[in-house]
Structure formats: structure tokens, C-alpha cells
Amino acid sequence: MPTAPPGSPSLLAFPQPRTCPHQPPPGYDALRGQGPLAKVALYDGRDVWLVTGYAEARALLSDPRLSSDRTRPGFPVLAPRFRASVARKLPLIAQDPPVHDVHRRLLNPEFSLKHVRAMRPQVQEIVDRFIDRMLEKGPPSDLVADFAVPVTSLVVSRLLGVPVEDQSFFQDATSRLMRATEAGPSQQAGGELAAYLDRLVTRLRTEPGDGVLGRLASQEVEEGRLPHDELVQIALVLLVAGHETTASMIALGTIALLEHPERLAELRADPDVLPGVVEELLRLLAVTDLAGSRVAVEDIAIAGHTIRAGDGVLVSGTLANRDPDVHADPDVFDPKRAGRSHLTFGYGIHQCLGQNLARLELELAFRSLFTRIPTLRLTVPAAELPVRGTDTGTIQSADHLPVTW
């Protein structure tokens, strides 16, 4: 398929606005059937590649000729807030090997499947605690503020070793960071989080505590194997990523289940189908929209196109997850699909470190919500819920989810 020349007004703008928080942007319909790669135009007028095919997405996400380093010239900037320095120098998600690999190995023990499975009773206790509070307060309730955000915040706090009493601070700072529309407010919120974590890491170096940060501060930093500032940045990434997207998945997944009562009935009749439900929700919702943002460091020939060195590349998890070559009836909510053929957690060396924990949180959240509050329902139609604008990027959520029972 011929691509439009740079600067062509015919290119689809990216990100695309949504009209419903749990459905893809209507503008994506224009990309379907046009091949696995297309050019789109960013807010600043720059043309970049958008990868929509599942096979091509996997190939490119594991291709070392694409860099995740956001400080490289040509790296795609989706919205003004991403020009803030706090959004550009990020360990794990915005680094290339070998530094990326070193950081990943340091964190693997606490994010392993074995360790996450051992956390199940603790996560269940946290889920039950906030459902208890909802029931004690009585309806109506905001499922985001009263359940999704505090549950995921407390889980990641426990894992990292962040004091529980500081939850309200980092929830507020994270919210301002993720919802900022300009670089200034994003930098301000990120700076507050970094300053807080700098103080915490300093204390944990000599007063070891529980959790990932206590272990890394007292061992790796104190013994000179990991710079102090790097641990602060790692902590910032884990703290923000560890609850923002999972809270969004709880909210949007709840909407999707309530919008599909037949699937909800199947779940209530047979809780063993829950893992399949969670995977299908992850495939359909893809709350981050993008499975990866990269810049090419060499020319890459793929699917009849040539990605040139310096070109920006965005991988659409939303569209790759709905590739009809992989999934029959890709827009249908079908928890009985075989396998985990979705890119919601990315692919390759940057595949989400916290995916095991996210799956556990989602499973326990949905199981407990719909078992303990069987008459849970929205107080407004899903189509009337406000959606986030494209000026914050591509992550979608329901910032407020009014429910009753």
C-alpha cells in the first residue's frame, strides 16, 4: 500500500479520540484493511509509522534495530507532556540493553510468578478490605476512587516497601503526572514524586525495610553496584506503572463485563473461566493503546515498506490485538479463545515486568466484586462516561465510575 508523503494532510492524526472509554477510537476503522503498517501524523505534524498487524508488531518489538531510548533524536513524542525530562529518562521502559537488562535482572525476584503467587492471600485481603468499606458506606460509590485506585496503590506499595501512610500523596502526584497536558505540570508532578522517593531511598539505605526498594537500597546501592539516582528513577517507574494501568483495567473491565451480561453470567456460574475472561479483557481493552514506542536506528524492510533510520515507530496494541488474521471475529468478547495472543503487555525484552501481578489483581478484583456485590451496576450508560482527551497521550480509563447495587 502506498504511503502518504510526509506532511500530507490525508494522514490520520494520532492519538485518535475515543467516544467510549472501553471501545477503540472510531478513527481506527479507517486503518483496518489497509495493511499492517501505515503512516500517521502526530500533534506536532511529524509523520511516524503505526504498526497494526499482529505478526509485524511482534517482529518489530523484538527487533534490536528499534530503540526504546526516548532521548534519541527522532523518538516519537505523542503529546506535549512527554517533552518533560521526567518522561524521557525512564529506566526499564525507555532504555536499551545493556542497562535495561541489568535493571531487569535486579527486579526479577519480586516479580516472578512464584513470588506473585505467594502474594495471593495479601492481595485478596486488600481487595476484601476495600469492598468492605464500599459496603459499609453503602451505594452509590465511585468504583475508581473507592476501589480500583486504592487497591492497586496499596498492592504496589506493599511490594515496593512504600509507607502506606503516603498513599494519598503518590496517588495525587501520579494522577497529575498522567493527566497533565503540558510539559510543565508533568515535570512538576514528576519532580515531587522523585523528591519523595529520593528521601525514601536515602532512609532505606541505612534503615532497611521490607519490599523491593528496601532490598535494593540496602544491598545494591549501599554496596556500590547501583547508583542512588538510578534506584530513585526505577522506583518512580514502578510506582506509577504499578497501579495506574491496572486500576484502569479494573475500571474498564468492570464496564465491559456489565455491558456483556451473558459473559458475566458465565463467570458467576463457573469461576474457573475467570483466567480466560481476564485475558480476553486484556486483549480487547488494551488500556495503554500502544504496545511500544520506538525509533529506528537502522533501516528495516518489513511488509513491503522500508522504515528508515530515524523514523518513529508506534505499535498499536489495540489494533494488533484485533488482527483478524489472529483472532476470528476480533471485536467479539469471547473468553473461550485459546492462548494469550495479545500484546497488551508488550513483547520482547520490554514485555511488562509486572504482568503476573496485574493478572492476579484483576482476577481477584473481578471475582470478589461480582461475588460479593452481585447486583453491581452502572448508574449512567457507559457511552455517557467521560473519556480522556488525546492531549494526555493514549492511556484510557474511566476517571470516575459511578456504580450502585
CATH of the domain at 355: 1.10.630.10
Residue 3 lies in a domain: no
- What pLDDT shows up at residue 1? 34
- What pLDDT shows up at residue 9? 58
Mean pLDDT of 378-394: 89
Question: pTM for the complete prediction?
Answer: 0.93
| Whether pLDDT at 3 is above 60 | no
CB 124 within 8 A of CB 365: no
C-alpha cell at 395: 492511556
Taking each helix axis as running N to C, give the angle between helix 355-372 and helix 149-160, from 0 to 180 degrees, rounded to the nearest 10. 140
C-alpha cell at 365: 478484583
62 versus 337: which is more confidently predicted?
62
Mean pLDDT of 302-320: 97
| Whether pLDDT at 374 is above 90 | yes
Residue 4 lies in a domain: no
- What pLDDT shows up at residue 7? 47
- Among 171-185, 269-283, 294-308, top mean pLDDT goes to 294-308
- What pLDDT shows up at residue 5? 40
- What pLDDT shows up at residue 32? 86
Q: Which residue from 62, 51, 50 is spatially nearest to 13, judged by alpha carbons?
A: 50
Mean pLDDT across the chain:
93
pLDDT tens-digit series, residues 88-139: 888 899 999 999 999 999 999 999 999 999 999 999 999 999 999 999 999 9
Residue 6 lies in a domain: no
Percent of all residues in the chain with a pLDDT value above 90, rounded to a whole number? 78
CB 326 within 8 A of CB 57: no
Mean pLDDT of 246-264: 95
Number of independent structural domains in the chain: 1
Residue 388 lies in a domain: yes
Burial 145-156 (b: 16+ CB within 10 A, else e): ebbbbbbbbbbb
C-alpha cell at 214: 528496601
Contacts of 306-310 spanning 24+ positions with Cβ under 8 A = 307/49, 310/73, 310/74
Percent of all residues in the chain with a pLDDT value above 70, rounded to a whole number? 98
Residue 5 lies in a domain: no
Mean pLDDT of 158-175: 90
CA gap 170, 175 in Å, rounded: 8
- What pLDDT shows up at residue 337? 87
Question: How many Cα atoms within 13 Å fall on the side-chain side of residue 25?
Answer: 25
Mean pLDDT of 70-81: 94
**Confidence class of residue 242 from pLDDT cuts 50, 70 and 90?**
confident
Say which residues have a Cβ less than 8 Å from residue 127's Cβ, sequence separation at least 6: 151, 361, 364, 365, 368
Residue 1 lies in a domain: no
What's the Cα-to-Cα distance from 23 to each of 19, 171, 259, rounded to whole Å? Answer: 8, 26, 11
- What pLDDT shows up at residue 396? 84
* Owning domain of residue 32: 12-404
